[in-house]
Amino acid sequence: MAKLFDCITEELQEFINQQHLFFVGSAPLNPTGHINLSPKGLDSFRILSPNRVGYLDLTGSGNETSAHLQENGRITFLFCAFQGAARILRLYGRGYTVLPDSPEWDSFYPLFTTLPGYRQIIIADIERVQTSCGFGVPLYEYQGQREILVDWANKKGKQGVKEYQQQKNLISIDGLPTPLSNLPRD
């Protein structure tokens, strides 16, 4: 059943690299606040070392993960096999947001596929790696990535995406500020 690891092993890295989808979980400290669980895809996840991962975060309707990380740093990633052998993998860690104007941006951004509409990179130092059986996860056939978000960002253009971020991505649904709220507004 569940197995614990000190780090992301080569076998687990291979499993992660085969997945087309992952989930990101975070939560505010306030016990009545909303827990966030976001599905991600589009070749945006990278293993940076056996205990560090990151993903290129694209503009979306909210910015909950970034707000939660700024408040408390807690983050969980979940990968599950929808094809082949059953398996669930969770990566527990502490994360932070790297914005395009951050000194770290230039060292992380080249590691990712360039996707329009990016807003930040989420970096997490992994403290616990755990697998479980995944026997209850159904089998699904992968058909491809959706291009809707990429098309939306291309249509908006860089300035349009930035304006959208300033309207929709500065405050979480629980009223927590995101790192984007610290940037100067045009």
With cut-offs at 50, 70 and 90, classify the pLDDT of residue 183: confident
What total of structural domains would you count in the chain?
1
**How many degrees, rounded to 5, is the angle at CA 55 between CA 121 and CA 102?**
15
pLDDT tens by residue, 136-152 = 999 999 999 999 999 99
Domain extent, residue 98, equals 3-182
pLDDT of residue 100: 96
H helix intervals, the chain? 10-18, 64-71, 105-108, 148-168
**How many degrees, rounded to 5, is the angle at CA 131 between CA 120 and CA 112?**
25
CA distances from 132 to 12, 44, 72, 78, 84 (A): 12, 24, 26, 11, 15
CATH number for the domain harbouring residue 28 = 2.30.110.10
